[in-house]
Amino acid sequence: MRDVAIIGVKNTKFGELWERSLRDIVVEAGAGALEDAGVGGKEIDSLYVGNMSGGRFIDQEHIGALIADYSGLSKNLHVPATRVEAACASGGLALRQAIMAVASGYNDIVIAAGAEKMTDVGSEEASSALSAAADREWEGMTGATFPGLYAMIARLHMHRYGTTSEQLAEVAVKNHKNGSLNPIAQYKNRITVKDVLNSIMVADPLHIFDCSPITDGASAVVLAPADIAHKYTDTPIYIRATAQASDTIALHDRRDITTLDATVVAAKRAYSMAKLRPEDIDLVEVHDCFTIAEICAIEDLGFAEKGKGGIVTANGETAIGSRIPVNTSGGLKACGHPVGATGIKQAVEIVTQLRGEAGQRQVEGAEYGMTHNVGGSGATAVVHIFSRER
């Protein structure tokens, strides 16, 4: 296997982009990443795009072909384009497919993109599309919603470990603060614990401010073999590990609903591949689709003891400038969660940080970064580790 580097990155603005279509935003992200890398169309060997539900959100499938076409990679160049789907982990899996294509030697220059256009449907239809990430027949048909599933995780976590609603709220408060420092973030307003606790209850104990929003957005990265990365950029960022794991589609079938075993296993595989430990990681982008998800994630990735995620967060240990900065981008909560794009956006954030280009939210001296992207309530988890030095 060959070492792989990221040589170009780009996020679009995240938010409710009424005036822009899926193809518009993916082209912006893709062209931006190629420009960042200094790569021309003729050099591109393949394209992977993470997209969860074009079919439900914009009544469009065949997303790979659409994106290749509007990126000018089809008519003359006929670049192969593949859509990757694993619900909210679609982006992370697209990145993983792209890494494997380069590592294997099949391809040299590969684009991994992710995109979701969610606001062309109403919020009820969007929620219904998102709930397709769970088991439709045995969760959805009983009246389960996505916030409802994570609320049950939160309830048991609180019951077993003493986690509080205030500690959950601290996740949202921190991520909004980080989002306020990120130019592309959907929400740049700072909020307080009181704001979270006073917001409407969606699924007890989760308030609306415990939930990530509905977002339009696209992200892209360009990959190359590490041996030639310096031809394109002075600051290639290296992939140290790519790992993925599966668990049961339904939350109720899990060994323990307060632990995402898929995350635990993917992280274990990633640490082993990178020959690193949690204490070596300088910052991490985790999948905070709900505040409780960030608390479980930092535990399951090894940054907090099981059950202590809430305390660690309330203590400020996950803030920028602290022990392990979590979600410097603002996370899914404040940067926004265009589901198919999220896994790629996380990689863009880590690359930006490891290059030292994150401005006000820069984690000083960051050498190793991690991304953690989850599909559904934890049936898919994908973890990547990146480094500044090869």
Partner 1 sequence: MASVPRFWRGIGSRYNLEGTRCNECGEYFYPPRNFCVNCRRVGHIEPYKFKGTGEIISYTVIHTAAEGFEDQTPYILAIIQLDEGPRLTSQVIGNPENIHIRMRVRSVFRKLGEDGEGGMIYYGTKFVPEHE
Which residues participate in catalysis according to the annotation?
88, 337
The nearest distance, CB 312 to partner 1, in angstroms, is 22
Among 40, 143, 234, 389, binds partner 1 (CB under 8 A): 143
Does 223 contact partner 1 by CB under 8 A? no
Q: Helix 123-131 and helix 146-161: axis angle, to 10°?
A: 60
In sequence order, the β-bridge partners of residue 111 are 47, 222
Q: Is 90 helix (H, G, I), strand (E, B) or coil?
A: helix
Among 87, 89, 151, 173, binds partner 1 (CB under 8 A): 151
The nearest distance, CB 184 to partner 1, in angstroms, is 28
CA distance 49 to 171: 29
Task: Give the closest residue to 329 by CA, choosing from 271, 266, 372, 270.
Answer: 372
Does 159 contact partner 1 by CB under 8 A? yes
The nearest distance, CB 175 to partner 1, in angstroms, is 21
Residues 190-219 as x/- pattern, contact with partner 1 by CB under 8 A: ----------xxxxxxx-------------
Please name the amino acid found at residue 58. I
Does 225 contact partner 1 by CB under 8 A? no
> What is the layout of strands, in order, in the sheet containing 109-116?
81-84, 44-50, 109-116, 217-225, 4-11, 237-246, 380-387, 368-375, 283-285
In sequence order, the β-bridge partners of residue 238 are 5, 387
CA distance 208 to 201: 6
CA distance 110 to 272: 25
**Six-digit token string for 147:** 């916030």
Nearer to partner 1, 74 or 164 (CB): 164
Among 64, 147, 225, 338, binds partner 1 (CB under 8 A): 147
Among 34, 115, 144, 239, binds partner 1 (CB under 8 A): 144
Rg (CA), the chain: 19
Among 19, 59, 76, 124, binds partner 1 (CB under 8 A): 124
Does 137 contact partner 1 by CB under 8 A? yes
**Per CB under 8 A, which of residues 232..291 are in contact with partner 1?**
250-253, 257
Does 174 contact partner 1 by CB under 8 A? no
**Per CB under 8 A, which of residues 50..109 are in contact with partner 1?**
none
State the residue for tokens 């939350």.
Answer: 251
Does 128 contact partner 1 by CB under 8 A? yes
The nearest distance, CB 207 to partner 1, in angstroms, is 10
Does 152 contact partner 1 by CB under 8 A? yes
The nearest distance, CB 226 to partner 1, in angstroms, is 39
The nearest distance, CB 247 to partner 1, in angstroms, is 12
**Six-digit token string for 20:** 């822009």
CA distance 53 to 382: 19
Does 319 contact partner 1 by CB under 8 A? no
Nearer to partner 1, 249 or 283 (CB): 249
The nearest distance, CB 256 to partner 1, in angstroms, is 10
Size of the site for partner 1 (CB under 8 A): 34
Distances (CA, A) of 264 to 87, 97, 246, 300: 19, 21, 11, 5
**Six-digit token string for 350:** 């880590």
**Six-digit token string for 114:** 């992710």
Which span sits near partner 1 by CB under 8 A: 87-95, 149-157, 264-272, 304-312? 149-157
CA distance 174 to 334: 9
Q: Let me know how long the chain is.
A: 390
Which span sits near partner 1 by CB under 8 A: 66-74, 154-162, 177-185, 265-273? 154-162
Which span sits near partner 1 by CB under 8 A: 51-59, 76-84, 108-116, 130-138? 130-138
Alpha carbon 55 to chain centroid, angstroms:
21
Give residue 387's region: left, alpha or beta (phi > 0; psi -120 to 50): beta
Does 17 contact partner 1 by CB under 8 A? no
Which spans of this chain sit near partner 1 (rule: CB under 8 A)? 124, 127-128, 131, 136-145, 147-148, 151-153, 155-156, 159, 200-206, 250-253, 257
